[in-house]
Amino acid sequence: MRPQNYLLALLSLTILANSHPVIAAPLNSSGICVKENSPELPSLPLLPRLPRLPVITQDNSGLRYQALELAATGKFDLALKVAQTIPNEADRFSVLNAIADNLAAAGKVSEALKFVQSIENKSDRVEILSNISNNLAASGKVNQALQVATAIEDSSQKVWTMRSIATKLAEVGRVSQSLQIAKTITANYEKCSTLSSIAIKLAEVGQESQAVQIAQTMEDEYWQNSTLSDISLKLVEVKKIPQALRIAQSIDDEYKKASTLHDIAVNFAAAKEFSQALQIAKTITNNNQKASAFVKIAAQYRKAGQVSEALPILAQALDLVQQNEDDYEKPSLLREIADEYRRVGQKEQALEILSQVDALEDK
């Protein structure tokens, strides 16, 4: 294979990196997520951009090949000019992204940045820099990844990229570095979000004690409770039930605790583990959350063909809801119970409950 063709082949590959986790004790994460009286929410949701899949058309293949060939021979200015004439947006992005990504992968980060900053379309610039940064982080080149991330023009995408790098580092055991990155983020809301992502990722890879340790350093009660809840639910997914329940019970906010136990109970019911589902549901102290859990457990009994088991649980749910005289959730819960009675063939009971809903809404 000619060297030029070899380089062209390289430009069409996606960078992959295999990392092996070596978990170390995290740095003290206190002070990263502090309590704020009126936290300022970001103007845009911190969500990743969806990756673009190249759709190479016959009409664009010549321009695509020409641009890649020019890049392979180091003629990046000409490659950029040719690439930006590709009419199809997905094809154009694919070529620009491949050239910049492979420059960075070869250690030519400054050249990659210069190339990307010359791209006309801002959205393309932002997305390509985010891709490069994530790929560098995945290959262990953290400092270079951060260098690229700081060049991202869109503030929300920059924060998402930084958070993604921090989460990747936590996943492979480089917790201290991930926390250092969280500290570099300016806005407290976004710091809290990043710290939460790190903790949840640690739970996902089996490091729940470190995950809880990080969550407990959060001074903001909302983020601490929310993160502990997410950690608990992650542990349910991997069948670490005693740990999940212990963490759920440690949540200070009673409603969030009840909500987490509700989700755990529903998870067990969906897996047809009814005894455990009921046992957990009975520990819920919030009547509405307990009633909702009972209804969903009853529904799973019905789906399993065990209607006789579903009926007494539905009755318990109804009794709990009836105890709440003035509650804005009462009508919706009653409708849910009525619908389940209808599904098990108890139509008269369903209609009677719906009449109560009508009376409540007429007040």
Q: What is the pLDDT of residue 197?
A: 94
pLDDT band at 2, cuts 50/70/90?
A: very low
pLDDT band at 31, cuts 50/70/90?
A: confident
Q: Which helix (H) or strand (E) holds 286?
A: none
Q: What is the pLDDT of residue 289?
A: 96
Which residue type, as a one-letter code, is found at position 253? D
Q: Is 240 exposed, middle or buried (CB count within 10 Å of its CB: 0-12, 13-18, 19+)? A: middle
Q: What is the pLDDT of residue 44?
A: 42
- Comparing 189-203, 278-292, 323-337, 342-356, which segment has the lowest mean pLDDT? 323-337
Q: pLDDT tens across 88-119, in order?
A: 888 888 888 988 888 888 889 899 999 898 89
Put residue 294 in one of left, alpha, beta given phi > 0 → left and psi -120 to 50 → alpha: alpha
Mean per-residue pLDDT for 337-343?
Answer: 96
User: Is the CB of residue 79 less than 8 Å from the CB of residue 99?
Assistant: yes
Indicate whether 18 pLDDT > 60: no
Indicate whether 290 pLDDT > 70: yes
Mean confidence (pLDDT) of the chain: 84
How many other β-carbons are positioned within 10 Å of the β-carbon of residue 49?
14
Q: What residue segments make up the domains of the chain, in order of their start?
A: 1-13+45-153, 280-363
Q: pLDDT tens across 174-190, in order?
A: 898 899 889 888 888 99
Mean per-residue pLDDT for 41-62?
Answer: 51
Could you please report the per-residue DSSP string of 115-171?
HHHT-S-HHHHHHHHHHHHHHHHHTT-HHHHHHHHTT-S-HHHHHHHHHHHHHHHHH
Indicate whether 50 pLDDT > 80: no
What pTM, to 2 d.p., does this model score?
Answer: 0.74
Q: What is the pLDDT of residue 363?
A: 66
Write the DSSP symbol of residue 26: P
Indicate whether 12 pLDDT > 80: no
92/14: higher pLDDT: 92
Question: At the topology level of CATH, where does 280-363 sit?
Answer: 1.25.40
Distance (Å, rounded) from C-alpha 46 to C-alpha 42?
8
For tokens 């929410």, name the residue: 41
Could you please report the per-residue DSSP string of 36-86?
-SSPPPPSS---PPPPPPP---HHHHHHHHHHHHHHHTT-HHHHHHHHTT-
